[in-house]
């Protein structure tokens, strides 16, 4: 794969840096990376990988931008939040304005057992920029199954962690984090906050590690880097393969094989917003059409991806990917009452 004149100029500081050089730059150009999650970590990783000249970048996130995101999610601005733009679409636009020499795909889709394998097909490497353990366990299983490397990254409060996971060579995610936590039992940024530079730093370190991996010099294999910015400490912890690991040894894919067949309701953001996730076979388009024709709901805004409605004191956001947010709400029960009016569940 050749570099054209513009690329040689654009990446000249990479090329004169011995550890990359012209051959390294060509390798980056023919590489393909998926970034799963486009929040604070994904924003930073995506920007650096785009600017470094990774030839193909796949962006995956089903969410839309909200005002409380832009404190740390540096791909987005106030207008994106006002318009509740889909993160994958807003990110693609922003990244394309930074580099027209690469190709960027955007998938505003939910990453679940039905979509996971398809979404990660044909990429060399995955950046884990998700925000919960359940998705990471699923990602791990897909990567072990497809023998695909991924770079784990997480950030909360003032600490973060990362590790490079190469199926068949290093411990897998399940070897390191053996116990599956109860849903809702771990702290989340919604509940305990996050210092905005922590996800940025983790994303940059993942991008660094990704570039090094593609060039054959990654460092965080069988190591977990644990960072506490409160004390500016960086600790490397050796991690070992679990000889009884259900995923990478026994190849039992519990998360990948689970069926999603029920609706999930969760209270977010200090208890004033309810999030409703529908199973992946739910017909959101049909629901949208029914609501648009229902005089009980006043339409505030609509785009191909998002419908914003007013119903009394509630604001309801319906994304075309099976996610509903109800704002100004106090309990799960209240959410069920409203859903009953919308879809009769
Ligand atoms: Zn394992």
pLDDT in tens, 224-280: 999 999 999 999 999 999 999 999 999 999 999 987 666 778 777 567 888 887 776
CA of 233 to the centre of ligand 1 (A): 28
3-state class (DSSP) for residue 47: helix
Q: Please compute, for residue 54, the number of CA atoms within 13 A of its CA located in the half-sphere on the CB side.
A: 31
**CB burial class (10 A; 0-12, 13-18, 19+) of residue 298?**
exposed
CA of 251 to the centre of ligand 1 (A): 9
CA of 135 to the centre of ligand 1 (A): 16
The CA distances from residue 179 to 48, 61, 141, 176, 198, in Å, are 33, 26, 15, 9, 25
Model pLDDT for residues 119-142, shown as the tens digit of each residue: 999 999 999 999 888 899 999 999
Q: Please compute, for residue 167, the number of CA atoms within 13 A of its CA located in the half-sphere on the CB side.
A: 21
Residue 8 has pLDDT above 90, yes or no: yes
Q: Please compute, for residue 41, the number of CA atoms within 13 A of its CA located in the half-sphere on the CB side.
A: 28
What is the structure's pLDDT at 267? Answer: 77
Q: What is the pTM of this model?
A: 0.85
Model pLDDT for residues 85-124, shown as the tens digit of each residue: 999 999 999 999 999 999 999 999 889 888 899 999 999 9
CA of 336 to the centre of ligand 1 (A): 39
What is the structure's pLDDT at 284? Answer: 76
Average pLDDT, the chain: 91
Work out the pLDDT band at 334, boundaries 50, 70, 90: confident
Model pLDDT for residues 276-303, shown as the tens digit of each residue: 877 766 777 787 787 778 888 888 888 7
pLDDT over 90, % of the chain: 65
Distance of CA 240 to the CA centre of its chain: 26
Question: Are the C-beta atoms of 169 and 221 separated by less than 8 Å?
Answer: yes
- Residues 253-287 as b or e (16 or more Cβ within 10 Å = b): bebbeeebeebebebeeeeebbbbbbebeeebeeb
DSSP annotation of 270: G
CA of 249 to the centre of ligand 1 (A): 6
CA of 12 to the centre of ligand 1 (A): 40
CA of 44 to the centre of ligand 1 (A): 28
Lowest mean pLDDT among 27-31, 210-214, 258-262, 295-299: 258-262
Lowest mean pLDDT among 281-285, 305-309, 330-334: 281-285
CA of 79 to the centre of ligand 1 (A): 43
CA of 204 to the centre of ligand 1 (A): 26
Residue 326 has pLDDT above 80, yes or no: yes
Domains and CATH numbers, the chain: 31-238 (3.40.50.720), 264-343 (3.30.310)
What is the structure's pLDDT at 280? Answer: 63
Residue 277, beta-bridge partner list: 264, 323
CA of 176 to the centre of ligand 1 (A): 7
């Amino acid at each position: 794969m050749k570099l054209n004149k513009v690329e040689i100029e654009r990446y000249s500081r990479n090329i004169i840096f011995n550890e990359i050089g012209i051959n390294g730059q060509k390798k980056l150009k023919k590489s393909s990376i998926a970034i799963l999650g486009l929040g604070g970590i994904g924003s930073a990783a995506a920007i650096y990988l785009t600017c470094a000249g990774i030839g193909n970048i796949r962006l995956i996130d089903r969410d839309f931008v909200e005002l409380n995101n832009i404190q740390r999610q540096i791909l987005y601005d106030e207008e994106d939040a006002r318009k509740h733009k889909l993160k994958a679409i807003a990110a693609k636009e922003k990244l394309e304005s930074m580099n027209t020499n690469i190709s960027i795909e955007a998938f505003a889709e939910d990453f679940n057992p039905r979509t996971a394998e398809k979404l990660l097909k044909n990429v060399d490497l995955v950046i884990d920029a998700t925000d919960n353990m359940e998705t990471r366990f699923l990602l791990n299983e897909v990567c072990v199954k497809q023998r695909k490397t991924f770079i784990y990254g997480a950030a909360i409060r003032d600490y973060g962690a990362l590790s490079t996971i190469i199926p068949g060579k290093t411990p897998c995610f399940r070897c390191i984090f053996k116990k599956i936590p109860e849903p809702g039992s771990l702290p989340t940024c919604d509940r305990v906050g996050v210092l905005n530079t922590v996800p940025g730093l983790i994303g940059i370190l993942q991008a660094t590690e990704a570039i090094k991996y593609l060039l054959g010099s990654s460092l965080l294999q069988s190591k977990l880097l644990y960072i506490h910015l409160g004390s500016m400490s960086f600790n490397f912890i050796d991690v070992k393969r679990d000889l009884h690991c259900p995923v990478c040894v026994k190849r039992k894919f519990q998360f990948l094989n689970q069926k999603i067949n029920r609706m999930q309701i969760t209270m977010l953001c200090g208890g004033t917003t309810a999030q409703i996730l529908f199973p992946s076979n739910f017909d959101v388009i049909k629901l949208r059409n029914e609501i648009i024709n229902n005089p009980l709901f006043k339409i505030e805004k609509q785009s191909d991806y998002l419908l914003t409605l007013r119903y009394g004191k509630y604001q309801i956001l319906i994304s075309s990917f099976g996610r509903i947010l109800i704002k100004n709400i106090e309990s799960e029960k209240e959410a069920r009452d409203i859903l009953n009016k919308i879809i009769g569940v």
